[in-house]
Structure 1
Amino acid sequence: MQASLFQSKVYDADVIAKCYGRRPWIVVWRSLQVLWWLGTFVLGLQSDRWFNREERNLTKRAVQLRQLLTRLGPTFIKVGQALSTRPDLIRKDFLEELTKLQDQLPPFSTPLAMMILEKELGYSPEEIYSRISPEPVAAASLAQVYRARLYTGEEVAIKVQRPRLLPVLTCDLFIMRFAAQSLGWLLPLNLGHDLTLIVDEFGTKLFEEIDYLNEGRNAELFAANFQNDPTVKVPNIFWRYSSPKVLTLEWIEGFKLTDVGSIQAASLDTDTLIEVGVTTSLQQLLEYGFFHADPHPGNLFAMADGRMAYIDFGMMDQLNQETKETLVDALVHLINQDYAALANDFVKLGFLTPDTDIEPIIPALETVLGEALGAKVRDFNFKTITDRFSELMYEYPFRVPAKFALIIRSLVTQEGVALSLNPDFKIVDIAYPYVARRLLKGETPSLRRRLLEVLFKDGKFQWQRLENLLQIARSDEDFDILPTASLGLQFLMSEEGRYIRDRLILAMTEDDRLHTEEVQKLWELVKEDVTPSKVLGVAWNVILQSSVDRAADWLPPVAALSASLQPAKSL
């Protein structure tokens, strides 16, 4: 039983329970270790309450928590990293300290690493590599990395898994699951679901992360998604020299994104790197649905030629089309401050159970998230939203599904890296032009219909929403509205755009009046970027790409629009 368990590639709580049910002494000893360290921490917290030292020792206790998780080993380091993205499971006060948690541990011996390598690959290191570093160049919680060169001349990184890792992980997971089943009801957490599901989700992802063949497949799928993107680099996998516990991949020469000095010394443009990072993150979530869930600074490198290199594809996840579109819905509703629709989005995404009464939640969302957005839409950032959203977790039955915990972790980490390169960075500056184009060029009609939801509600045109979108666009000094307008015109002139064409004509004369005041407001926002000649140029390009019959229908309105712009500009 033990042998079959420790060779398993898939997390199975029942198999683990049967194994350790027959070996209680292992569980008891490990439990005593865990209880001693956690008990010491809890006793410290309680003494702070008794002697009114909570506020004074808050930072000290947060640091202590991070250190004890590191001391307890790889499973608990991963727990700490997961908790740093779960405001529904841990107090906001500790979140910031846990985000600093690094999986840095003392390396195990190189001779032992070489024995593992030879056992896994069937050849000695000398037979595979012409040169190999005498010591690991990096040591993490689950593996350590060596730099080497193949006889064919390629520089490679060798990732070797820690010895007897699976027994440690499975024992810890068994203890965690037993505690969740036995003691979960005592925790003052408004989870709205079984705590054992959290352990099982965590265990499943952990097993995927320690299967290096799975990581190699993830890397190749990620590379395929970005194969036509000259700004993204993914290391090649050398399958002949890889196994479930050893991964040989192309060595990436570059700078960590937090190493601002080296990046500047290499004459790399930090704003360009930020744009690449944010755009690729949005592509992963909204286009491909396959995203890198652990983009911390150690997994992202700036290369000398300006490319962004991703490494370590052990923690990945997939979004289906429906989830991608609902995620777009939620972002649109958040920006447009439609909190009733946003509450329904949370139900669809799994943040709230279907039987939840959302009526009392709507004003809470408006209060908390409305303040987080700020007076200007450009003030939007994921860290602020995450911090403010955590305030709702203890008052309302929210939970963060495992998939979205990974998304939150990914977005907040990416934003943090961007801020380290440019403290004035605003994610909306890059995200809005991308999202606007996705709404217009979406690969499915259902995704394109999101544009209708931005501009219409209950069959009526929402002038304020259009104004909001234009304000976001104008916040980016380099954003040119005309290419997006060109896409919009192409969409309007297509057969699929017939519905919105009819709605726009009705909107202009809605309530038996011409909406000249609203149009004038919009014009004031864009007049500096739009001239009659540019508009006619865009319109003519669109007309050339459309059928003659459809173009004929639009020539009079386009001409009228151009004529109306010239007097408006002189006001």
Structure 2
Amino acid sequence: MIRFVRNSFRLLGMARTLARHDALFPLALVPGGKLLAFFARLTAPFSRRSDLPPGRRLARALEELGPAFIKLGQTLATRSDLIGDDVAADLSSLQDRLPPFSVKIAKRIITEQLAEPFDVLFDQFDDEPVAAASIAQVHFATTPDGREVAVKVLRPDIKVRFARDLDLFYWVAEIVELTQPRLRRLKPIETVKALEDSVHLEMDLRFEAAAASEFRDNFDSDPTYYIPQIDWERTAEHVMTMERVKGVRIDNVEALDRMGVDRSALLAKAAGAFFQQVFRDGFFHADMHPGNLFVDETGQVSVVDFGIMGRVDKQTRLYLAEMLLGFLTRDYHRVAEVHFEAGYVPRNQSLENFQQACRSIGEPILGKELADISVGRLLGQLFQVTEQFGMETQPQLLMLQKTMIVAEGLSRILSPNENMWELSRPLIEEWMRENLGPEAKIKEATLQAGSMLRRLPRVLEAAEQAASVFTDQGLRLHPDTIAAMRGKASNGQGKSTGFSRHTLILWVAIAALGAAVFLK
């Protein structure tokens, strides 16, 4: 009851903020939302109509509501199936900026976390942060040995504030799932859980440091794509220190032109790196807005901010590759088959009808000029038409789709007449050949055979133990059966059958091995 009362009042307060920005439309998803919107508009001071698009109005309201709501907006930006393409696109540009906290507090947190005097840790430390976001802020500093670094410091009391807001989000999601059966397939509770998991990872900066380290290892041999090195001695739960990178924002085309950077070549590098992240590594930067990408005079791209990362397992990557290839070659039958094989669409649905739906999505998009084709938009529309086919939300694909849209938008800023997917085509073809071609099938079969052989000694050992149960632990068998096993039974010519204990073990082993392979 206390939770109900507390969250009811907080929901009304949130609705009043939405009303001030003329952004009450999300309340349509909440039971009683129309009544709540009416009271909010009635009681909200300075409530006004706005000429801005709905997504922009919502973004401004979420920025006013604070850190957890900003993160909620960023999560909703991946849910075009829930809020529509246009609103999702507007939320993708949601500004994660808040007023900074004082440098005095930042230094106190650093000293407590690293258990060292501040002067021992840093020789110089900028008073003004270079960035202040919902969870942390960043200061430039210099270490005693002369290295230039960027120091990220978690906001004080941020965990308590997020816990309070997450409780409200869960409460609303639970009500929606309980009262709106048609929306259960969109998994509102799971969406909040994904937000909670993401935020918990972001609130322990050691996890972000580990992500940066893994990302750096993945691109260690790529001189065109740089990930700064972590200073682990100056990193803890609430503090992360990494090498400072320099350059201009990747969307500052005027500065790039002044530096003599070939923007077409730069786009090819960025597109190739994005493809490698998703398909080669299955580990991608999921917050790839221009403020996290910098370019120096040599054209090298440096990446920062690893708080939001995405993972795609090998099988999903294979399905995704086949799905995209099917769309790009207009093989809609194969696109539909892949959805059924992956289990995304239930078996009781019509393959032919789903194939027709895929064609209705692909033809309008693929009929455009090459530079205007958006794979991210294609996936977004695909997710929107799945409700009638009972397809459940795939959170890992939603995050990837949102990242694709951001990457495609950036590619059009750099070189409007080129398409990043066409530039990545040689990599795509090579990856498809290596992972879906005949060579890949042979390699997979070889690996499976090797795995089976490695398991063989354990299977034989288990078989011998099973045989000992049959022969040594008192299992009652007919005397003739025992005689046959021991080779004492005649084969009709007075000779032993030769069916010894070791033969029994071998047959049990073969049967066990066959079962293991069959059930694998």
RMSD (Å) for aligned C-alpha atoms? 3.1
Q: Which moved more, 1:157-166 or 1:350-359?
A: 350-359
Deviation at 1:34, TM superposition (A): 2.4
Q: Distance in 1 between matches of 2:154 and 2:347?
A: 42
Code of the aligned partner of 1:136: P
Q: Relative to structure 1, is the Cα distance of residues 218 and 375 closer, same or farther in structure 2, using a 3 angstrom cutoff? A: closer
Could you say what secondary structure the match of 1:85 adopts? coil
Q: Which moved more, 1:122-131 or 1:342-351?
A: 342-351
Q: Partner residue of 2:14? A: 34
Deviation at 1:134, TM superposition (A): 1.2
Contact 1:347 1:353 in 2 (8 A): yes
Q: Partner residue of 2:119? A: 126
Contact 1:191 1:398 in 2 (8 A): no
Taking every aligned residue pair, what percent have the same amino acid on both sides? Answer: 27
| 1:146 is the counterpart of 2:139 | yes
Q: Partner residue of 1:110? A: 103
Q: Partner residue of 1:225? A: 218
Q: Distance in 2 between matches of 1:43 and 1:149?
A: 44
Match for 2:437 among 438, 448, 454? 448
Q: Distance in 2 between matches of 1:433 and 1:381?
A: 18
Structure 2 gap ranges (5+): 26-33, 39-48, 447-520
Q: Relative to structure 1, is the Cα distance of residues 167 and 355 closer, same or farther in structure 2, using a 3 angstrom cutoff? A: farther
Deviation at 1:355, TM superposition (A): 4.8
Contact 2:345 2:389 in 1 (8 A): no
Match for 1:403 among 396, 400, 415? 396
* Structure 2 counterparts to residues 178-257 of structure 1, below 5 A: 178-186=171-179, 190=183, 192=185, 194-257=187-250
Q: Relative to structure 1, is the Cα distance of residues 60 and 27 closer, same or farther in structure 2, using a 3 angstrom cutoff? A: same
Q: Partner residue of 1:545? A: none
Q: Distance in 2 between matches of 1:348 and 1:33?
A: 46
Match for 1:389 among 377, 382, 385? 382
Deviation at 1:208, TM superposition (A): 1.3
| 1:290 is the counterpart of 2:279 | no
Q: Relative to structure 1, is the Cα distance of residues 361 and 416 closer, same or farther in structure 2, using a 3 angstrom cutoff? A: same
Q: Distance in 1 between matches of 2:14 and 2:123?
A: 43
Could you say what secondary structure the match of 1:141 adopts? coil
Q: Relative to structure 1, is the Cα distance of residues 406 and 62 closer, same or farther in structure 2, using a 3 angstrom cutoff? A: closer
Q: Distance in 2 between matches of 1:400 and 1:193?
A: 6
Contact 1:92 1:390 in 2 (8 A): no
Deviation at 1:91, TM superposition (A): 2.5
Contact 1:237 1:250 in 2 (8 A): yes
Q: Distance in 2 between matches of 1:296 and 1:375?
A: 25
Deviation at 1:96, TM superposition (A): 2.8
Q: Partner residue of 2:167? A: 174
Could you say what secondary structure the match of 1:89 adopts? helix
Deviation at 1:384, TM superposition (A): 4.0
TM-score, normalising length from structure 1? 0.68
Contact 2:18 2:24 in 1 (8 A): no
Deviation at 1:340, TM superposition (A): 2.7
Task: Give the structure with higher Rg (CA).
Answer: 2
Q: Distance in 2 between matches of 1:317 and 1:383?
A: 16
Match for 2:255 among 256, 262, 266? 262
| 1:322 is the counterpart of 2:315 | yes
Q: Partner residue of 1:305? A: 298
Deviation at 1:179, TM superposition (A): 1.2
Deviation at 1:77, TM superposition (A): 0.8
Contact 2:21 2:60 in 1 (8 A): no
Deviation at 1:345, TM superposition (A): 2.4
CA offsets 1:446-480 (integer angstroms, 9 cap, x no match) = 5334999xxxxxxxxxxxxxxxxxxxxxxxxxxxx
Q: Partner residue of 2:511? A: none
Q: Distance in 1 between matches of 2:102 and 2:251?
A: 29
Q: Partner residue of 2:61? A: 68
Q: Relative to structure 1, is the Cα distance of residues 398 and 278 closer, same or farther in structure 2, using a 3 angstrom cutoff? A: same
| 1:334 is the counterpart of 2:323 | no
Deviation at 1:415, TM superposition (A): 1.3
Q: Distance in 2 between matches of 1:239 and 1:22?
A: 44
TM-score, normalising length from structure 2? 0.74
Contact 1:86 1:405 in 2 (8 A): yes
Deviation at 1:216, TM superposition (A): 0.9
CA offsets 1:456-507 (integer angstroms, 9 cap, x no match) = xxxxxxxxxxxxxxxxxxxxxxxxxxxxxxxxxxx9xxxx9xxxxxxxxxxx
Q: Distance in 2 between matches of 1:179 and 1:357?
A: 34
Structure 1 gap ranges (5+): 1-20, 51-55, 453-490, 497-571
Deviation at 1:352, TM superposition (A): 3.5
CA offsets 1:63-82 (integer angstroms, 9 cap, x no match) = 22111111111111111112
Q: Distance in 2 between matches of 1:42 and 1:399?
A: 31
Q: Distance in 2 between matches of 1:168 and 1:307?
A: 39
Q: Distance in 2 between matches of 1:137 and 1:241?
A: 19
Q: Distance in 2 between matches of 1:99 and 1:179?
A: 23
Contact 1:329 1:345 in 2 (8 A): yes
Q: Distance in 1 between matches of 2:105 and 2:82?
A: 38
Q: Which moved more, 1:385-394 or 1:116-125?
A: 385-394
Q: Distance in 2 between matches of 1:379 and 1:212?
A: 39
